[in-house]
Structure 1
Amino acid sequence: MANAAAKKLASTNTKELAKLHRISLAIFVATLVVTFIKGRRLKSLFFLSIPEMVVEYIIEKNSRPKYIDGQLVNPGGDINQSGLTEYMLDTIYMSWVCQSLSILFGVRAWWLFLAVPLFLAYKAGSLLFAGRKLLTGMGGGSAEAEPSPSEPGMSKRQEKLRKRNKQ
């Protein structure tokens, strides 16, 4: 079977996207109904749902398989891959949590959504720290690097010859 992996990826992406859209719609409709019943402001609900909608649109555009005349042209990006896609899905999940909690506790539950930029700042900081550590390990000349016991400018071969001569 030609392109079996691409067809499997396309099938998985289609199922995952459908599930993502169904859950998102169900939570949004439930939040909307409770907002109407309790007489809360719709403006805050729509404003605070924008990040989820934007991220969901990006995932949809990147992961939706493309067909021409019934033939699979592009299976789309893997929706279950780690990295940026994973962080975007985490943003959607966090939005779902905030919407669900807003049903119970009102608009104040959206303050929990501030955890997303804090988490991104933490990840970016750890990435920068790891990059800096990698660069200093490559000979950046940092004070953190361990001083070598041999004289500066000696190659490993010269060190071995010097050690043999001492014995």
Structure 2
Amino acid sequence: MKIHQVISFSPGTIKYRDITCLCQADKGVLDCACYGIKEVSLGEEASLQCTEEPSRPEAIMKENIGQWCIVKYDGEPYPGIILEVEEDVRVKCMHKNGINKFYWPGPREDISWYRDDQIVCLMKEPQPLNKRSVQLEKEVWKFLENLGCWSDK
């Protein structure tokens, strides 16, 4: 129920996004860049291989609302979802629960404003470890390790 729009223009490739966008449908364009459209290739073995890697646009824009990101706070990485973009970026963040292990805090949500330069990268949704915790994908964690800007707390 999280994916709301799936589009295919060529065999073996689909594009999808969490929020449906029809801003250019009257022009025949359904794969606009709005809301972080993602692309998946269906390989010869019919296995899903996402082409999306962690990335950092020059600036976080309103089009990034709804996307997952990594926020750098007190020298540590925290995954979250971009909720709003003005001068700063409003993000709903997860809390750390070990090395590459995160959870949603409760009963209060952790929603704060961050400077654009505190957003390290955009990424895919983290993978569930169990009912409460998630883990960043290996390529995202490796990307963060290669930056070398966190402590190993």
* TM-score interval, normalised by the smaller of the two chains: under 0.3
Give the number of the structure whose residues are more often strand, by fraction: 2
TM norm structure 2: 0.25
TM norm structure 1: 0.24
Larger RCO, structures 1/2 (Cα 8 Å, 6+ apart): 1
